[in-house]
Structures are given as structure tokens and as C-alpha cells.
Amino acid sequence: MSAIAGPIHPTAIVDASAQLHPSVEVGAYSVIGANVQIGEGTVIGAHAVLKGPMRIGKHNRIYSFTAVGEVSQDKTARSDDATSVEIGDGNTIREFVTIQRGTLKDTGVTRIGDDNWIMNYVHIAHDCVIGSHGVFANQSTLAGHVTIEDHVVLGGGTLIAQHIRLGAHCFTAGGAGVTRDVPPFFIVQGNPAGPRGINIEGIRRRGFSAEDLTDIKHAYRILFLSDVPAAEARIELAELAKTSMQVRRISEFVESSKRLIQK
């Protein structure tokens, strides 16, 4: 990498310490701040603002009017804190998205994986950890310290409280207010969000077997449709997990959760 890349619009401002691969494109009036690293093939639209320390991987598309790497809105955060943003490869980040740096209260890093589709006006707050292959629809809002695993879909206007976890392949309906952890494969809806079934379409699209689907349905019935107390349901789920890899993922998530969604 070098501090000077190829197709940078003459009105863009790129700090001398920024490291851009020669193939990076930067649109008109964008600002690339100090200690920003951008990998091969990434395209930055017009009027975007990227502030370091930050590392962005390869082949991302960051559209106009995004603000990435700004200091957190946490009242304790300071602009000179040793915190950062890390973004992987192949992400699409649409107009007016805001992604903020970590804080010293946590790891200090806000992380985003690969191949995520992040739509207009999404807000990703400090210390969030985002997996890969997610879809975050317009105006989804993540508070601080949220963890989202792979292949998660957030419906438009989803609101996620701080310190919440969303398991892989889960789905939130539009306008959901998520205040408790959501296990893998499940759908939540409402405000506050509650369980509304399993993500059948997502499971089928991603190549899971019919047997996997049956097992996941069984796990959902144990947790949310049976009349047994929660402690007994967890024991029954753990027994089913002995013969099903996918149920094991659900069971391990449930056991580690401190605030699981309720029936």
C-alpha cells in the first residue's frame, strides 16, 4: 500500500498517513482521515467521511454520505482514545450509514465481517461485533456491545438494545424491538420482540437438510410451545442436542445467554 492511491477525485481530502491500495476509488468531497487503511478494489462514494484508526478490507462498496469511524456517542468516549473500527471484505454499506469506534469499556474495537449488506440509515454503535453474510434493512439501529452472528437478517427499523446477542441464521421482523438474546434459526417480532417461529426460508436457502429443519422445529417447540418450566425445557433441549449438530448450536447459545427471549 501507499499513501497515494489511483482514482481519487481532486476534491477529496486524504490524510498523508492514510494507506490506500492503488486500486481504491474515492468520490468527490470525501474525507479520509489519519490512520485509515483501505484494501484492494474498495470504492468510496462522494461525501463519505472515514476517520481512523480504521482498517477496511478488499472489495467493499461504501456509498455517499456515510460516516465511519467517528468517536462513539457514549458519554465517556474521547476522540483521542485508542479505539478503532475493523471492516472485512465484500461489504456493501449504503447511504447515511453510521458506524462508530469502540470504547475503552470493552475491547475498543467495532468489528464487521465479510459480505454484509447494510442498507440506508443503519446505525452500528460502539463495540458491536458483526459476523458475515448479514442483511440489515433500512434504519436498523444497534446499540453498543451488540453481537450478531453470521447470516442474520434484520427487518427494517429493527431496534436492538445494548449487550444483546443474535444467533446465526435468525431473523427479526420489521420494527422489532429486541431486548433479549435471540437463538440461532429463530424469528422474532414485536416490541418487545418475542418468538414467532423459525427462519424456514433462510434455512432452506443455505443448504440445511430436511432432517436439520425437523430438529430445529423440535427445538423451537421445546423452548417456546411446551408447557414445561424453562429449566426442564433446557434439559430436554440438551438431550436432543446429543444427536443434532444444529440443536447443539441452539442449546449452547441458550445455556450461555443471560437474557433469553421469553415465550
pLDDT digits 0-9 by tens, 158-211: 999 999 999 999 999 999 999 999 999 999 999 999 999 999 999 999 999 999
Task: Give pLDDT, residue 228.
Answer: 87
pLDDT tier for residue 138 given thresholds of 50, 70 and 90: very high
Residue 241: pLDDT over 60: yes
pTM of the model as a whole: 0.95
Q: Tell me which amino acid residue 232 is.
A: E
Residue 3: pLDDT over 90: no
- The phi and psi torsions of 221 (rounded to 5 degrees) equal -60, -40
Annotate 91-107 with DSSP letters as a single string: -EE-TT-EEE---TTTT
Please give the positions annotated as active site.
126-127, 144
Task: Give pLDDT, residue 6.
Answer: 62
Residues 3-28: what's their mean pLDDT?
89
Give the fold, CATH level 3, of 204-256: Udp N-acetylglucosamine O-acyltransferase; Domain 2 (1.20.1180)
Residue 5: pLDDT over 70: no
Enumerate the CATH 2.160.10.10 domain ranges in the chain, comma separated.
13-145
pLDDT tier for residue 263 given thresholds of 50, 70 and 90: confident
> Which residue shows C-alpha cell 433441549?
237
Q: Tell me which amino acid residue 66 is.
A: T
Residue 92: pLDDT over 70: yes
Task: Give pLDDT, residue 2.
Answer: 42
CA angle at 174 for the pair 112 and 183, rounded to the nearest 5° = 60
The Cα–Cα gap between 245 and 239 comes to: 12
Q: Find all residues with CB under 8 Å of 160, minimum gap 6, and list them.
A: 140, 141, 142, 143, 146, 154, 166, 178
Least confident of 33-47, 221-235, 242-256: 221-235
Residues 74-92: what's their mean pLDDT?
96
Partner residues linked to 161 by β-bridges: none
Domain 13-145 sits in CATH at 2.160.10.10
Q: If 0-12 CB within 10 Å is exposed, 13-18 middle and 19+ buried, where does residue 16 land? A: exposed
pLDDT digits 0-9 by tens, 36-61: 999 999 999 999 999 999 999 999 99
pLDDT tier for residue 244 given thresholds of 50, 70 and 90: very high
The percent of residues in the chain predicted with pLDDT above 90, rounded, is 95
Q: How much is the mean pLDDT over the chain? A: 95
Is residue 195 within 8 Å of 178, Cβ to Cβ?
no
Enumerate the CATH 1.20.1180 domain ranges in the chain, comma separated.
204-256
The Cα–Cα gap between 151 and 202 comes to: 8
